[in-house]
Amino acid sequence: MNFTRNLMALALTGLVASTGMAMDKAEHAAANDRISADYKMAKEKCDALKDNAKDVCEKQAKGNEIVAKAELQAQYKPSDKAAYKARKERADADYEVAKEKCDDMKGNEKDVCKKDAKAAHVKAVENAKVARAQAQPADNASEKRAAIAEARKDADHEKREAEYKAAKERCEPLQGEEQNKCEADAKKKYGM
């Protein structure tokens, strides 16, 4: 599915690059129709699968469609907001697929998988927020540096917290002193 996602992104990039300027309404509509057709074909391929493999496939197909449409919109009407939305949609789609993949697991392994998926999601969303802060115009350079520094500080905190929760979940099957040491090491590593 990553190949399909990359292929769609390349096709959209090629479409914009080939025009030599911004996409017009007809090009946008045609690209939107191709994205919808690609989704329909990807979803049909999922019908041959069963159980959780089918669920994962469907999440990937839908996620690819949502991301491609957000990226298309960012190309059609470029803005900081549209670029952020495309990054956020990618993070959300990847998270949905990762969570679905966890359904094949049981017990603590499943719990750890979900916490890892959440940590990856938080990281991607926070990175998108930092990128948005970097892209924001500012009246002067010191204001922009301050805004970027604040976004990075917030992002680092959120990422560490999510990674700590995943690390702590890995300690759950342990018992006694071993579990206490594991949790203490996680707290120390992530500054909690």
Per residue in 41-64, pLDDT tens?
A: 999 999 999 999 999 999 999 999
What does the pLDDT look like over 131-144, one tens digit per residue? 999 988 878 888 88
pLDDT score of 16 more than 50: no
- Residue 24: pLDDT band by 50, 70, 90 thresholds? confident
18-22, 100-104, 184-188: segment of lowest average pLDDT: 18-22
- Residue 21: pLDDT band by 50, 70, 90 thresholds? low
- Residue 173 DSSP class: T
The domain ranges of the chain are: 1-79, 105-192
What's the mean pLDDT in 91-95? 97
Q: Mean pLDDT of all residues in the chain?
A: 88
Asked whether 161 and 118 are in contact (CB, 8 A), the reply is no
- Pairwise CA distance, residues 118 & 115, whole Å: 5
- Pairwise CA distance, residues 103 & 106, whole Å: 7
According to the model, what pLDDT value does residue 17 have?
A: 40
Q: At what angle do helices 176-190 and 141-171 cross, to 10 degrees?
A: 170
Q: Which of 44, 41, 42, 34 is nearest to 8 (CA)?
A: 34
Q: Residue 139: helix, strand or coil by DSSP? A: coil
